[in-house]
Amino acid sequence: MTTPAPSVLVLRHALHEGPGTIAAFLKDAGVEHRCLDVFKNRPAFPTIDSIAGLVVMGGPMGVYEKSRFPFLVREIAFLRKAIAAGKPVLGVCLGAQLIAHALGARVYPHTVKEIGWGKIRLTAAGKKDPWMKPVSRSPWVFQWHGDTFDLPRGARRLASSALCENQAFRYGTRVYGLQYHIELDGPMIRNWLAQPGAAAELAAVGPRTRRDILDGLPTRLPGLHRLARPFMAGFARAIR
């Protein structure tokens, strides 16, 4: 019997925060993936040797809420093992915060929430980064977060925004954290807007936040996908 090739493991923290277009980009690159819902019934984490790489998605909880979400303790331990083993690792939003925490950096509530379309600025390191340099130096991305983190020791800052200094970082050559979301399409964004509590969050940021998000779909989503595709091609090359 042929043993199946290791696949990318995607850690999901909420049903509505799945891999989205990341799954499609991996499939296009010939890379298999599977999801593990870490918030459900104390799931069994696989062995590190059985995965080709790790993608850690976003979620509504904070890294510092381990007593409320005890699965975070096991997840962080697993994340540290994957990094130590040299696996390609990508964290998105909460995922980036979990990577930063696993590397010893502080994660904490930001003074402002960053929700909706906004520009990031690539740093000098970001402009030279092999996964990020094919894009615009100031691309539009989608944000939905209230926490931020310090840059882990030994990591390189790749991007910042006007409200959040650490928008993207690289640790070594195969571990990346992105505070912004690259996995979204139109249906996912509309689903997020319909989630319980979303209306209050949006209103707290500004009365036009919801309308600005929807108005930006036709013009901003294509640019987001142009940003995500070469980035995920770099991740797929690291897997192969």
Catalytic member of 17, 75, 114, 183? 183
Is 181 catalytic? The answer is yes
Task: Clarify whether 164 is annotated catalytic.
Answer: no
Chain position carrying tokens 């005890």: 70
Burial of 191 from C-beta contacts in 10 A (0-12 / 13-18 / 19+): middle
35 is catalytic: no
Provide the pLDDT for residue 3.
52
Reported as a single tens digit per residue, the pLDDT across 32-43 is: 999 999 999 899
Q: What is the pTM for the complete model shown?
A: 0.96
Q: Which of 33, 101, 145, 181 is catalytic?
A: 181
Give the Cα separation of 210 and 79 in Å (integer).
34
How many other C-beta atoms are found inside a 10 Å radius of the C-beta of residue 93? 25
pLDDT digits (tens, 9 = 90+) for 51-106: 999 999 999 999 999 999 999 999 999 999 999 999 999 999 999 999 999 999 99
The neighbouring-strand residues paired with 35 are 10
CA proximity to 172, closest of 77, 92, 86:
86
Among residues 93, 101, 114, 145, the one annotated as catalytic is: 93
Percent share of the chain, pLDDT over 70: 98
